[in-house]
Amino acid sequence: MGATLDKFMTIEEVPEEWRSLDVTVGGPVDASHFCDNGVRTYKYNLLNFFPKSMFEQMRRTANQYFLLICIMMFLGTYTTWFYSPLTPWSTFLPLMIILLVTMAKEGFEDVKRHQSDKRVNNTPATILSTDPGDAPGITQTLRRKDLRPGHVVVIGDREEIPADLILLWSSEGPQAYVETSNIDGETNLKIKKPALIDDEPIIQSPETAKNTQLSSTFEPPCGRVHTFEGTLRAKEQSIPLDATQFLLRGSTLRNTKKALGVVAYTGRDTRLVRNSRDVPSKLSELERVVNMMVYFILFAMIIITTISMIAYVVWFSGHKAHLWYMCYRYNNADVPALFRENCESSDNYAPGSTWPTFFILYNNFVPISLYVTIEMINYVQASYIDNDLEMYDDEDDVPALARTSNMNADLGMIAHIFSDKTGTLTRNIMEFKKCACAGKIYEKGATLRGKVSQPSVERDLVEIMAVCHTVVPDEDGYQAESPDEEALVKGAAELGMKFTARSTEGVEVDGKRYLVLATIPFNSTRKRMSALVQGPDGKARILCKGADNIMFGLTGKDSFKRFAGGRPALDDCLQQFSRVGLRTLVLGRRDVSRSEKDKFLKAWRAAETATEDRKGKLAEAAALIERDFEIVGATAIEDRLQDGVPETIHELAKAEIKLWVLTGDKVETAINIAKSAKLLTDDMFLVKLPAEGATKGPEGDWGLGAQLTALEAVVQRAATPDPAATVSWSSLQESTLREPLDDDPQRTPASLASDHLALVVEGATAMETILGNEELEQRFLKLANVCKAVVACRVSPAQKRLIVGLVRRKDTTRPVTLAIGDGANDVGMIQEAHIGVGISGKEGRQAVNNSDFAIGQFRFLKPLLLKHGRRNYRRMSKVIVYSFFKNIVLTFVLFYYQADCGWSGTSFYEAWVYSGFNFFLAFTPLAFGWFDVDTSAETVRKYPRLYAAGLHRMDLNVTNMAYATLEAVGASLLIYFITRQVYWRPQNVWTHRGKDGDLWVFGTAVFVGMVNAMLLRAALLVDSWNKYHIYFFFMQFLALYAFVIFMSEVWPTSSVDWFLDYDYYGVAFHSFELGVYWLLTFILVPVACAALQLLVVGVHLEFFPNVNDIGRELDHGHVDGESLEHSRKDNTFVPLRSRYSLHGLVDRCLGRAAPARPDLVTQDSIRSVSDSLGPGRAAQIGLEATPESGFDYSHAADQSFHAPSPVSASGVI
């Protein structure tokens, strides 16, 4: 449904012919056949607001249900098809109020979109005057929405580009710089070039532009932001256009004083709008469970409706002869004539027509106010997140932000976290730390600086760092396309080769000029960048830096002659850098002869101006010169961990949340980052997919099929106890899997987990093979579920999204997933996960703009989940179960009454009082959702395993709903039959001044006693009282009595007789005058229901406690909490819930295994199996101990953090 909705909401690209645009600069513009430049992000307008918003509301199952009930009520009231026991207005008006409140909320949010659109569309834009009589260079100001194709726009430094433009002129000569963080999240600068004729811009300056004739043909509007194709004709020459001449709407001009561009696309035709799409519609796990509960309740409602109809037919067939006063068999001779005359004009209903009658009567089985209550609670819970100072990043002045309030409770149910590395776990603040040169590793310092000061291979390396880049200096330092480039330029400056200026001809380094003849840019396919330069000595050289595997493929016979020890020595240096978590680049250069230079430049410029297959021709030209590089060394850049990352990962692991790190880094770098972040610990064994040295093989699967088979056997052996061993059953439970790894789809992750296994998977080989292969996907998921952590290396953004989707959709345990990242390359996985969290980092706001929640640093994930997530889940679970509970009681009391009224479908509640039941009890659920705290945040921080409440769905599930239904049936029996026995048997005793009790007096006593019983139940459910609880309880009590008195004491005149019931007049005070009324409604009924509630709670706490109950006792200091830890000393362990509870009974009936502790495959059992395999076989299947790290990568974190010191696994297996 979500994918269909996304497709429906996305603007489809309609095939069009290429566009032609003829422009006379400074002349009038006729673009009437093009759209305006206004942007519209709003959903509604005055004409479509009501129908469109109503359609949105009717997508909810409960709203559809109550609309059906209203239609049935109207039919039963105003037709003779069947009888409606309730007036339709008593349900229709509350439903309309609820819908209108929700629609008003939607409208309020949409008004903000209208206001935002108005601000954007009315922003001034400067263009060259279109009045032919104006002097050259004169400008005029328009509103942005009035721009049209053909206008020549004047843009200043740091101004946002108002439409899609073709760049004509730049104050910086043949280049301009733009920042696209608003589009793709990248804060680096991109170089743009104006359209050139013979290396000169078409327009020399704004003052000389007037009357210039331009004719352009370009591609139709589309959503591709990285490409553009077209041709510009000026001065009788054709100029090919590509992305380098194309300025996107929403990008910002930087480091360029002024630029001119002709408008190509406007409004809905711009790339930004065409590429935009709404964030996919996500149905929260909580809403999914609520929908299941609604279906469960509807099923129960249909059952009791059918039972009531059958009971009516049976009762009627046995008593029909005596019902002449109800117009049955009224033609008999012994029936008085008066009755016969009345009955001849009365409605007669068939027995089968009572089914809709009962269905209407029991309509309150589903609480009508549930969704409004949930939305109000979600809104306040979101404000708690927004205003939590614990999640405020004071360094960058970034507070937490809940962008999607309906996902709050799902934060307490997270089973898997998928995290980016750079900028998420690390700071994305790069610093040049070391380099490898001439066979040595140099630290950044005086020794290296001395080598650079004189001609040497070290100087050649630093020269590449200082010259081969696209960095632009500005008043704040440097503006770079990537943090790595900035780090290298700064590192070169510290070593004595400072980059100081960039011009149209080249760069200036340490006072010397380098002429840049051509720049071959970096991209994700090339993984390298090259620059052809002419140095101060007049020689031409090609300088290059890139990934090691790419650079080694561009070497020749003697490429490593300047690196002592050759290729093996350099590989060893790169391994040392990776082991300490440093990012590496290999640098190379080569002198270029004049003929080779001229040949390349000719081919390169021809490729740049090609109108067909430009990308392919550029690649062919680059291949002419990017070859036979002389490797001068490698650089190592450090990206430090963010504050608190190790502690956060450690605490989340203790909460039984599995963390996946998805990164594009090399395997060694990713492993060492994960080790420093405490994701991988010394007591873990690594499982690598594919195994080191694996080849693609004849099957083309890198041996993964055979490797997974071997690993499954290893897990089985490690999980199966030695038959000769004599151990107790309790210790066996704690140290081994109860059953080997098998194909049981009901197996939970907890029963297949180990604290001592971690999976490392490589993207370009393993994930490329696994994704899309159904069998390998399932086997991969089984292995991943056994492991404590997963690290995926060398994965692309698309693979990140596919991995998240694989776990979300194909894991049989249906885990709730969370993805967290900070860059545009993380948007796919953020949108794919159940919950997306964006970090306001160095890579723009694209991740934040597509997320459900935004935080400043990774460490804030701990309070977001353990405090807000757990608390929101427990609060909302209590609200939902209580809401259904009270309405089940209300409906079953009516069901019992039918036995006393001949199953006639009569209600003994006044219709409006009956409909007001949810309103009279509306404030207690709000109090639960806003204020209730079962366990303090300090206790949860100390014992993260308390997060299990939501992780294992302990509070909100169908089993709990069945449990609550049974208790609700018991409470309804007490409420009805206690009141019935008191009022019915000695009825004449309870009369007052000769006034006898009737249906309404009895019904009012039952109703008020029931409301008071539900209020007392709510009071007993409260875990933490405050003044607001007392206010809310008082307001509910006041609302109940005020409404009952109003309904019964206001005389129903003709103007309000549609609302008030004549039969109910005077009932309130007549009831209040009876002493038994107060005895029943305030003491007998509420106390009896409370006694039942306390009995159930007492039995549960005494015999079937779970971790939540222990958490509350911990909060009050009644237990020491040791049983909540995974103790390795005495194997003590408290299960999530007792196997003898109702949940355990249901699990056993359904054949489901009871959840077990996650520490099941022990370190000793894995070591024993690996020792039996031998080093060679273990290496073949990718099993090895966690390598020791030579670098404490977590030094940026709080030094006071100390993780438990497990026993270290020794050696490589």
Q: Interhelix angle for 89-121 vs 370-386, to 10°?
A: 40
The residue annotated as part of the active site, out of 420, 460, 701, 1115, is: 420
**Tokens 């016969």, residue located:** 340
Cβ(604)–Cβ(621) below 8 Å = yes
CA pair distance 880, 931, nearest whole angstrom: 15
**In angstroms, what is the C-alpha Rg of the chain?**
37
Residues present in the chain in total: 1213
CA distances from 426 to 414, 674, 828, 857 (A): 22, 11, 20, 10
One-letter amino acid of 564: A
Q: Pairing state of beta strands 164-170 and 258-265?
A: antiparallel
CA pair distance 635, 435, nearest whole angstrom: 4
**Tokens 């709990």, residue located:** 960
Q: Which candidate, 337, 328, 329, places its Cα nearest to that of 902?
A: 328
Told to judge if 420 belongs to the known catalytic residues of this protein, a careful annotator would answer yes
CA pair distance 174, 239, nearest whole angstrom: 14
Cβ neighbours of residue 787 under 8 Å, at least 6 residues apart? 687, 753, 754, 757, 758, 759
Q: Pairing state of beta strands 835-839 and 816-821?
A: parallel
CA pair distance 996, 1001, nearest whole angstrom: 9
Exposure b/e, 956-976, CB count within 10 A at least 16 = b: bbebbbebbbebbebbbbbbb
Strand partners, 127: 140, 153
Tokens of 415: 């089973």
CA pair distance 547, 586, nearest whole angstrom: 6
Rounded to the nearest angstrom, the gap between the alpha carbon of residue 472 and the centroid of all alpha carbons in its chain is: 36
DSSP letter, residue 1080:
I
CA pair distance 684, 867, nearest whole angstrom: 29
Exposure b/e, 624-633, CB count within 10 A at least 16 = b: ebbeebbbbb
Tokens of 228: 């553009």
One-letter amino acid of 206: P
DSSP letter, residue 583:
E
Phi, psi of 985 (to 5 degrees): -60, -60
DSSP letter, residue 1083:
I
CA pair distance 270, 165, nearest whole angstrom: 10
CA pair distance 42, 971, nearest whole angstrom: 49
Cβ neighbours of residue 258 under 8 Å, at least 6 residues apart? 154, 155, 156, 157, 170, 171, 206
Cβ(1156)–Cβ(751) below 8 Å = yes
> 10 Å Cβ neighbour count for 192?
25
Tokens of 467: 């010259």
How many angstroms separate the most distant Cα atoms in the chain?
A: 130
Q: In a 3-state reduction of DSSP, which class is residue 661?
A: strand
CA distances from 287 to 851, 877, 883, 1205 (A): 19, 11, 14, 42
Q: Which candidate, 928, 1126, 914, places its Cα nearest to that of 1004?
A: 914
DSSP letter, residue 791:
E
Cβ(703)–Cβ(1182) below 8 Å = no
One-letter amino acid of 583: R
CA pair distance 418, 826, nearest whole angstrom: 10
- Which residues are catalytically annotated? 420
